[in-house]
Amino acid sequence: SSRSLSMALKEGDAVPNVVFKARVRDEKIGGTNPFTWKDVSTNDLFKGKRAVLFSLPGAFTPTCSSTHLPGYEKHYAEMKKLGVDEIYCMSVNDAFVMRQWGIHQGLTPEDKDASNPLNPGNFKNVKLLPDGACQFTRGMGMQCTWDSERGFGERSWRYSCVLNDMKIEKMFVEGGSVVQNSGPDPFEVSDADTMLAYLKTQKK
As beta bridge partners, residue 78 has none
Nearby residues of 178 by Cβ (< 8 Å), 6 or more positions away:
3, 4, 5, 8, 141, 142, 143, 144, 157
Confirm whether 89 is a catalytic residue: no
User: From the candidates 64, 89, 134, 161, which is the catalytic residue?
Assistant: 64
What are 84's strand-pairing partners? none
Spatial neighbors of 134 by CB under 8 A, at least 6 apart, are: 92, 143, 154, 155, 156
Contact (Cβ atoms closer than 8 angstroms) between residue 109 and residue 124: yes
Maximum distance among all alpha carbons in the chain? 51
Residues classed as catalytic: 64
